Structure 1
């Protein structure tokens, strides 16, 4: 099965490859990006190459998928988005994302996430999408709620970063909830 690519109004979503290592490193070496990511900032391009290799491995084992987020107008790599802990047997996955700070608050993550939600439910036939985020990450919490995710609770001591354990919030979106919202939006647009 070939890796699916998507085109949105302003973005291309395509498989992240070794050729993206330098750009990926520039995003993931920024403390403001990794502050709420659950890992320390990268300190070398080699680390970025290892992570990209792990993305390839998780895709080959069908337990994850990661897309490069590319700006259409400039062909600029601005971040990644993907599925973690993908279990097609259980019809569920988690979604994760990060974006270079220059592109924050412009709706790019929302645009990419919208596409991945649709692909998860319509393309992969999943029933549940989850997301885990730091409680202090207000932008991510806001994004998830705006996309229809519901807060399920707190995962105590769930993320280990900077030599300490941190609580995380767990959010989820179920296919029937998403279908109902999509149907409602379609009805409103027709009136």
Structure 2
């Protein structure tokens, strides 16, 4: 199975390979990026190499997909976005993402997520996309809700990071909910 490259107006979503090691390290070594990531910040380039190997292994084992987010205008690698816990048989996955702070609040994350949702529902035929978000991460919670995700509840002490437990919110978006805005804009109902 070839890794799917996706495109939006401003972005290319590409396979992450060893040539992206330094970019991954530069992003995941930042406290402001990993604060709500679910893992401690990277302190060595070796951690970036290993996570890329994990991304590739998970894809070939059909357990996850992780895209690199690249700006079309200059080929700058600005973050990653992926489907974790991918279960094709059960038609579900969880979405996760991070972006370099220099590119926050420019709409790139939203643009990338919309394309991955389209791919997930139309190409992979998934029915449910979940998202686990730290309670304190209001920016991510607000973004997901703008994209139609519904808050389902709270997962107590769900993640362990920086030697402490963190409670998270659980969000989800079902395929029929994702289809609804398109149908409403056309004045019809999605089937």
For the aligned pair, the TM-score class normalised by the smaller chain equals over 0.9
Q: How far is 1:183 from its partner? A: 1.4
Structure 2: runs of 5 or more not aligned? none
RMSD of aligned Cα (Å): 1.0
CA distance in 2, matches of 1:24, 1:185: 38
Shift of 1:184: 1.5
The match for 1:19 is 19
Residue deviations 1:162-181, cap 9 Å, x none?
A: 10111000000000111112
Q: TM-score, normalising length from structure 1?
A: 0.97
1:107 matched to 2:107? The reply is yes
Structure 2 length as normaliser, TM-score?
0.97
Aligned partners of 2:187, 2:129: CA distance in 1, in Å? 24
3-state DSSP of counterpart to 1:117: helix
**Secondary structure, in 3 states, of the residue corresponding to 1:115?**
helix
CA distance in structure 1 between the aligned counterparts of 2:34 and 2:86, rounded to whole angstroms: 22
Equivalenced residue count is: 188
The unaligned stretches of length 5 or more in structure 1 are none
SS at match of 1:126: coil
Deviations 1:105-133 (A, max 9, x none): 00000000000101110010000000001
Please identify runs of 4+ aligned residues in structure 1 that moved more than 6 A: none
Question: What does 1:15-164 correspond to in 2, within 5 Å?
Answer: 15-164=15-164
